[in-house]
Amino acid sequence: MLTMLGLTMLLSEEAKADAIKEMVVTLLASYGGIALAVSLLVEFLKMLFKDWAKPKAPVLSILMTFFLGAASKVLMPEVYGLHNFKAWTLHVVILVFVAVFAALFHDKFWNVVKGKLGAIIPGGAPIPPVEEEKKP
């Protein structure tokens, strides 16, 4: 409910015409959206820079969560509340759980999707060859 109220205030007529801006605001207007955005960004970095990003995925998840979380708190006070010590402390504690959720979502969802779709998704597991049946 609070997310919807915040989105209503944030999306002006100009933003409604821009689909990318609307999508980013929608993602950053909730903690679940931040977790999804972090998961997507980490997967994107792993596709672009596989050797560099794969071992650093947990650290990237934490850093991106706090970066996107802080940016969304500063840019959307209507959604995330006031800028005082108590509100920021609560926001940081929640972001710790969001970072864990983003890492779990990445590991449990994206890896399963990549494994199922195989070579269709860049970086996915190769599709095993189909063995032909031998006639007796």
Q: Tens digits of per-residue pLDDT, 59-88? A: 888 999 999 999 888 888 888 888 889 989
3-state secondary structure of 12: coil
Chain segment 4-32, per-residue pLDDT in tens: 545 555 555 555 567 777 777 777 888 88
Burial class (CB in 10 A: 0-12, 13-18, 19+), 46: buried
Q: How far apart are CA 37 and CA 91, in angstroms?
A: 17
Q: How far apart are CA 17 and CA 119, in angstroms?
A: 35
- Contact criterion met (CB below 8 Å) for 7 and 29: yes
| pTM of the predicted structure, to 2 decimals | 0.68
